[in-house]
Structure 1
Amino acid sequence: MIRRLVPLALLLVAGVAVASDGWLAQASQAVRTTNYQGVLVYLRDGSVDTLRIVHRYRDGEERERLVSLSGEPREVLRHESEVTSVLPERRVVMVAQHPREGLLSKFGRYADGGLSEHYAFRELGKARLADRLCRVVMLEPKDQYRYGYRLMIDKQTHLPLKLDLLGEEGVLEQLMFTQIEFPERIPDEALAPSFDTEGFRWVRHRPMEVQGGEAERDAWEVSDVPAGFELAEDGFRRVGNGVARQLLFTDGIATVSAFIARGEGRGFTGGTTMGAVNAYGRRDGEYQITVVGEVPEITVRYIAEHLQRRAGGVAKE
C-alpha cells in the first residue's frame, strides 16, 4: 500500500514550478529541509489508508520513516537515496537505491518554471487543515493529457498538507495530513525500524548490467510524445524471469513509465484503469509494450502507439 501511495504523494509540491510568489516557491525546499512528523490519510476507490510519517533534515542529510497504520503491516525507511522496505508478515526486507526523493518531494528540480504552457495556476484563498492555516492553490491542465491538482500549503512552514488529484469526473484521489507537528529535533530512534528483522530474508536490488543493452536501446525509438512530456530516464529492470527496457517520461509533474519486453503469448492489449492510474498495452511482433501512469488514458495510449522499432534495428540477446 505504501508503494502505491508514493506516486500520488510525491505530487504534493507540484505547484512550486509555476508560481512566482515567494511563499509557494519555498514549498519545494520545505518538503526536503523541514523536520515534520504526522499522520497521512490516503483516499481512493472508496478505500482509506493511513500512514505515520517522520521526516528529518540534519547536517545536509534527509532521513524518513513511513509506517502503515492500516492493511498489511510494513515500514519504509529512507536515508538519502537508500530505501529499505520491511514486510514483517512476509519476513522480508528489501533494499534499493532510488533518486533523492522522499514521500513528499519531487519537484524541487522543476522550480525554475516551464510548466505554464501546460498548466494554469490559480490561488483559491485560505483554509484550515490539521489546525494549520493554509493557502489553497489549483493547477488546471490546458489539454486532455494530464490531470489537475488542488493543494493546501501550510502558510507558516510552506509544507503542502493536502493534495486532490482531479479528473473530468471530480476528485480521483486525495492525500492529506490529519495530524502534523514540526519538532525542532528528531532523535535517531524515531527513524529506526520497529520490527526485529533477525531471520528475515534480505533482498538487495542493484543497478542491472544487461548484456546487449545498447543494442536494445538502438532498436527502439519514441517517435512522439504528448506536448510537454520529455524522456527523463532510460534503463532496464527485471520483470519476472526476464528483463524489460523501461523509459520514464515526465512533464515536470505527471510521470509515465513505458516497458518493452520480449514475451510469448498474446500479452496485455488495450487499456485498463485502476483509480487514477491508466495502463495501455500492445504487441509488436515478439515484444510486449506496456505504458502506465497516473495520467488520463489518452496519454498512455499515445505514448504506447508511438514506441516503435527503428527501421533496420535489431534487438539482440
Structure 2
Amino acid sequence: MMLRVLALSLSLCTPLVALADDSSAHNQLQAMAEANRSLNYTGRFLYQFGAEISTMEVSHAVIDGRQYQRLTHLDGRLVEVIRRGDEVLCLHPDRSLTRLNSQQAGPLALGDRLASDLPEQYNILVDGDGRVAGRHATRMRVAPLDTHRYGYRLWLDQESRLLLKSEIVDGSGVALERVEFVTLTLSPQLGLDHFAVPEARHEKALAPVAESHPSMKLAVTPEWLPAGFRAMKQDWRQAATDRAPVAARGFSDGLAAFTVFVEAIGENSVEEGVSRVGPTVAVSRRLAAPSGVYLVTLVGEVPQSTALRVIDGISVRDSQP
C-alpha cells in the first residue's frame, strides 16, 4: 500500500514508443489540467472500480469565470454530483444531499489532482500514441519510484488536451480503477439551467464540533508516513448529539491521498479488519491510549501494505497539558 525494482516495473513492463524529457511531460500535464478546467464539453464514459463497471454522463462548462460540472450515473440507482464553483454536492437516490470538497468530486477528480506539481516520488513518461472514443490521444505514465503509492496511465486528447482515459495501476501494472470516455462533444451550448440542483428532502452532513468539547483536545499523530506525504489540518465532526465526535485527518503527496478517522468507543466492541475495492483500502484497528479507547480507520488510495504500516503507528494523545 518489496523491492525497488518491483515498484519500477510499471515503467519498464512494456517498451516506450517515445520518451519525452521531464519538462515536456510536465508541460503536457499542465495543458491537460488547463483543458479540464477551461473547456466546455459533454460526454459519456465508463467507470470501472474494482469489479464494478458503471456508465456515467458528464457536462462541464465555465460560466462567468466559474466552473460548473454535472456527473450522472446512467445505470443502477440515480446518483448525481454537481459542481457549482467551489460548491460540490452529491444527490442520492433518496433525494438527500451531501456536500463534498473539490477533491472528492467524482471519478474525474484525478485531472484536478494532476494540475499541481507532482512530487519527486513519481516519474512522468510519454508513452506514444493511441485512440480513445474515436479520437487520437497521447499516452502518458505517472510511475511511482517506491511501493507506497500507485501508478497512473493517462490518455490525453491530441486536439483539446482533455483527459480521455485514466487508469490507476498497481506495481504489476494491473488496472484497479479505469475512467474511459466513449463519446465526447466539445464546445456544446451549456447554461446555468444544466447545473441546477434539484430540491432535496434533507442534507446528510456531519455537524462541526464545538471548540469547548473535550474531544477537541485530542491530537491524531502518525509515527510514519511515506516520503512526500504531508498531514492536513485535523477536523472533528459529529453525526448526532448522542454519538462521539469523529476526528478526520487527511494525508496526501499531492496525488495519492488517505484519511485517518478516530472515534472514541470506550468499552464497546468493534469490528477490526481490512477491506479493499479497486484502489481504495480501508483498515480498522482498536487503539487503547492514555486518553481512552478508540476505533482508528484509514481509508484511501494507497497499497494495503502502506495503509497497514501507517495505521500501526497512529497515536492519539491529549494535545493540551
Q: Assess if the C-alpha contact under 8 Å between 1:30 and 1:158 holds in 2.
A: yes
Cα deviation digits, residues 253-311 of structure 1 (max 9, x gap): 1110100110143323242222221122211121111111111011211221221134x
Structure 1 position 221 matched with structure 2 position 221: yes
Letter in 2 for 1:69: L
Q: 1:255 aligns with which of 237, 254, 257?
A: 257
Structure 1 residue 216, shift from structure 2 partner: 3.6
Partner Cα separation in structure 2 for residue 218 and residue 74 of structure 1:
36
Cα deviation digits, residues 213-256 of structure 1 (max 9, x gap): 68645543223211111112421233573321101111111110
Q: Assess if the C-alpha contact under 8 Å between 1:19 and 1:25 holds in 2.
A: no
Partner Cα separation in structure 1 for residue 268 and residue 204 of structure 2:
31
> What SS does the corresponding residue of 2:245 show, helix, strand or coil?
strand
> What SS does the corresponding residue of 1:26 show, helix, strand or coil?
helix
Give the number of equivalent residue pairs: 290
Structure 1 position 50 matched with structure 2 position 50: no
Q: Assess if the C-alpha contact under 8 Å between 1:118 and 1:141 holds in 2.
A: yes
In the alignment, which residue of structure 2 is the partner of 1:66?
Answer: 71
Partner Cα separation in structure 1 for residue 157 and residue 319 of structure 2:
53
Partner Cα separation in structure 1 for residue 147 and residue 170 of structure 2:
10
Structure 1 residue 30, shift from structure 2 partner: 1.5
Root-mean-square deviation (CA, aligned residues, Å) is 2.7
Structure 1 position 289 matched with structure 2 position 291: no
After TM superposition, the structure 1 stretch with the greater mean CA deviation from structure 2, 263-272 or 144-153, is: 263-272
Structure 1 position 151 matched with structure 2 position 154: yes
In the alignment, which residue of structure 1 is the partner of 2:185?
Answer: 181
In the alignment, which residue of structure 2 is the partner of 1:93?
Answer: 96
> What SS does the corresponding residue of 2:271 show, helix, strand or coil?
coil
In the alignment, which residue of structure 1 is the partner of 2:245?
Answer: 243
After TM superposition, the structure 1 stretch with the greater mean CA deviation from structure 2, 123-132 or 75-84, is: 75-84
Q: Assess if the C-alpha contact under 8 Å between 2:88 and 2:102 holds in 1.
A: no
After TM superposition, the structure 1 stretch with the greater mean CA deviation from structure 2, 215-224 or 275-284, is: 215-224
Taking a change above 3 Å as real, the CA distance of residues 216 and 248 of structure 1, as seen in their structure-2 partners, is same
Structure 1 position 124 matched with structure 2 position 131: no
Taking a change above 3 Å as real, the CA distance of residues 155 and 258 of structure 1, as seen in their structure-2 partners, is same
Partner Cα separation in structure 1 for residue 217 and residue 110 of structure 2:
27
TM-score normalised according to structure 1 size: 0.81
Letter in 2 for 1:305: D
> What SS does the corresponding residue of 1:30 show, helix, strand or coil?
helix
In the alignment, which residue of structure 1 is the partner of 2:271?
Answer: 268
Taking a change above 3 Å as real, the CA distance of residues 140 and 23 of structure 1, as seen in their structure-2 partners, is closer
Q: Assess if the C-alpha contact under 8 Å between 1:229 and 1:251 holds in 2.
A: yes
Cα deviation digits, residues 64-117 of structure 1 (max 9, x gap): 1111101111222221122233334x2x231525247754346657656352x2
Letter in 2 for 1:137: M
Q: Assess if the C-alpha contact under 8 Å between 1:43 and 1:49 holds in 2.
A: yes
Letter in 2 for 1:300: A
In the alignment, which residue of structure 2 is the partner of 1:232?
Answer: 232
Structure 1 residue 204, shift from structure 2 partner: 6.0
TM-score normalised according to structure 2 size: 0.80
Taking a change above 3 Å as real, the CA distance of residues 126 and 243 of structure 1, as seen in their structure-2 partners, is same
Q: Assess if the C-alpha contact under 8 Å between 1:215 and 1:314 holds in 2.
A: no
Partner Cα separation in structure 2 for residue 96 and residue 273 of structure 1:
24
Structure 1 residue 180, shift from structure 2 partner: 0.8
Letter in 1 for 2:144: P
In the alignment, which residue of structure 1 is the partner of 2:10?
Answer: none
In the alignment, which residue of structure 2 is the partner of 1:14?
Answer: none
Partner Cα separation in structure 2 for residue 306 and residue 75 of structure 1:
37
Letter in 2 for 1:181: T
Structure 2 unaligned regions, length at least 5? 1-21
